[in-house]
Amino acid sequence: MADILDWTSANLDTLDGATHEARAGEMAARLVEQTGSGELPFLTMSYMAGLKQQLSNLKDYLKGFDHMLLLGIGGSALGARALQKAFFPQQDQPGHNGPSLWIADNVDAYALESYLATLPAEKTVIVTISKSGGTIETVGQYFIFKEWAQKKLGDEWNRHMLLITDEEEGFLRTEADRNTIKTLPVPDNLGGRYSVLSAVGLIPALFLGIDIDSLIDGARDVVAPLIDPTLTGQTLSRHPSFQLATWAASLLDKGFDEMIFFAYIPLWASFGDWFAQLWAESLGKEGKGSQPVPAIGVTDQHSVNQMFMDGIRNKACLFLTCPTLPAGPRFPNDLPDQFDYVRGKNFGELIQAEGLGNRMALSQNGVPLVELSMGDDGPKQAGKLIALLGAATILTGWLMGINPLDQPAVELGKRLAKARMNADGLEEEKADMDAFLSADRDTREF
């Protein structure tokens, strides 16, 4: 089946999209310029030929391990987790005895101590991901596991390490060169939230046996027109990523400042968290943007859907479905009369009915909605979704007049945290920290 965007409930007739649509020529020229200059590796994937060779060389190496511990945070982890949940669900199911991927993406002492106590060092590879090599949440864990591996494995410790970082600079690059540790590069100009189809996401996918070629092929199908040096505004105006971008920008003009990502493909629910970072970190700039809200169908019909349906009318929705999900077992025929409507039907029919019902209900309650109906729930379709949403995010940012590739605001919290740990060179932040901590607090017991 085909992959389809259904615009029927997008409320296009109530939005003024013409202003944004008229900028297709300008956006096309910008794409041609920036893809040609290497500024958009997420789209061009110019690094892919070299990466594929490196991945091929590492395939047998990775087969020698039963466990992979991924040290990363934000974009260094969210894409890998989405792929794991979508295409390696058996790790979360009873009786699993194959490879296992563990993702340490937070400052969580409980989890860290569990990994240290239970992972078999001789069958574990530790993958540390940080483009800059200075992300303390990640590199701090690397220090701890480096010491652990040295104690457990002796001179063989470095064989159990794999670093994904900048090709030339940063602490992890220096560490790799000093200790002869295997490395893979994070390409220049490829921010973490756009990096899932680089070594960042493909190494864990390869370890789990996910079809990475199909992932890449799906993404390339979507981006091919966008990286054509002859791209015109007319061609771009027909591309689904630009159509999504003009819709999103037009929604903002009308005050729709929340974007729900409602996933009715259960195994793909973690793509909602991946999308949330992509959308928020790219578009939350200069007092602008819409808040992404990941939601899981059917689960969140029984929780936050009341707000979506009957709360403030500031929400739009990307509604992810797949009509070819497994049928599942049949409901028994011997059911109480009050449940006779499911008697003899397949369990899988229920999520399709729930999805249709909720999609209709959201639309009838004034929520502009675009359905992303995937013809299949395989890796190729996931690659297409990743590329479509990434490209749409970039184009939305451009239409908003902001840079969708940086994240200046998140750096302040990082600097203040380092100041709290007494890092050098942060005198202004330390003074602010002292003032904050010494101020009178309004505290109340509960």
Q: What burial letters (b/e) apply to 11-30, b meaning 16+ CB within 10 Å? A: beeebebeebbebbeebbeb
State residue 410's pLDDT score. 76
| CA 281/CA 348 separation, integer angstroms | 35
Q: Which residue has the tokens 């002796």?
A: 154
Domain limits, the chain: 4-34+219-400, 41-213
Task: Name residue 40's amino acid.
Answer: L
Which residues is 5 bridged to in the sheet?
Answer: 372
State residue 373's pLDDT score. 98
Q: Which helix (H) or strand (E) holds 59?
A: helix 48-63
Say which CATH class 4-34+219-400 falls into.
alpha beta
Structure tokens at 356: 């249709």
State residue 34's pLDDT score. 98
DSSP tag of 312: -
Phi, psi of 262 (to 5 degrees): -100, 110
Contact 4, 373 (CB under 8 A): yes
CA Rg, the chain, in Å?
A: 23
Which residues is 370 bridged to in the sheet?
Answer: 318
Instruction: State which CATH number among 2.10.109.10, 3.20.20.140, 1.10.10.10, 3.40.50.10490 fits the domain covering 41-213.
Output: 3.40.50.10490
State residue 408's pLDDT score. 82
Positions marked active-site: 281, 302, 414
Question: Which segments in the chain show pLDDT lower than 70?
Answer: none
State residue 244's pLDDT score. 98
DSSP per residue over 193-262, as a string?
GG-TTSHHHHHHHHHHT--HHHHHHHHHHHHGGGG-TT--HHHHHTSHHHHHHHHHHHHHHTT--EEEEE
Asked, colleague to colleague, whether 4-34+219-400 and 41-213 share their fold, the answer is: yes
State residue 417's pLDDT score. 85
State residue 374's pLDDT score. 98
Structure tokens at 342: 């499911």
| CA 103/CA 115 separation, integer angstroms | 10
